[in-house]
């Protein structure tokens, strides 16, 4: 992950609703959630939720899959791992392999 991609991810997560969406999708796991389900769970209007989901998708933190007329959203664990790796790449005196266990512990293989 490069600096600009990391900045996009942080910008996406810097808004409370988007942070709540991302955390909700992490909890939902591989089942994901429909856009309407996310809106209902967080009490956010669907048009507002659509804009927030679009920003999160562009940041690489969530992904979607069309299911007929609806769209199901999932946390993009590769995006999350990339962000964590970016944050920790210079840790431990520039030896990121020492931090690998921490990254692996934080980001499951979902």
The domain limits of the chain are 3-106
pTM of the model: 0.85
pLDDT digits (tens, 9 = 90+) for 59-107: 999 999 999 998 999 999 999 988 988 887 777 777 767 777 776 676 5
Give the domain 3-106 fold.
Arc Repressor Mutant, subunit A (1.10.10)
Residues 101 and 21: their CA atoms lie apart, in Å, by 27
Residues 100 and 73: their CA atoms lie apart, in Å, by 28
Residues 59 and 73: their CA atoms lie apart, in Å, by 14
Residues 5 and 64: their CA atoms lie apart, in Å, by 19
pLDDT digits (tens, 9 = 90+) for 18-36: 999 999 999 999 999 999 9
């Amino acid at each position: 992950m490069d600096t600009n991609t990391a900045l996009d991810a942080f910008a996406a997560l810097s808004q409370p609703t988007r942070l709540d969406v991302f955390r909700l999708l992490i909890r939902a796991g591989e089942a994901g959630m429909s856009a309407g389900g996310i809106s209902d769970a967080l009490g956010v209007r669907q048009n507002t939720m659509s804009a927030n989901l679009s920003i999160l998708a562009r940041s690489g933190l969530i992904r979607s899959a069309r299911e007929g007329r609806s769209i199901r959203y999932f946390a993009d664990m590769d995006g999350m791992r990339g962000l964590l790796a970016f944050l920790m790449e210079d840790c431990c005196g520039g030896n990121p392999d020492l931090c690998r266990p921490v990254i692996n512990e934080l980001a499951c293989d979902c």
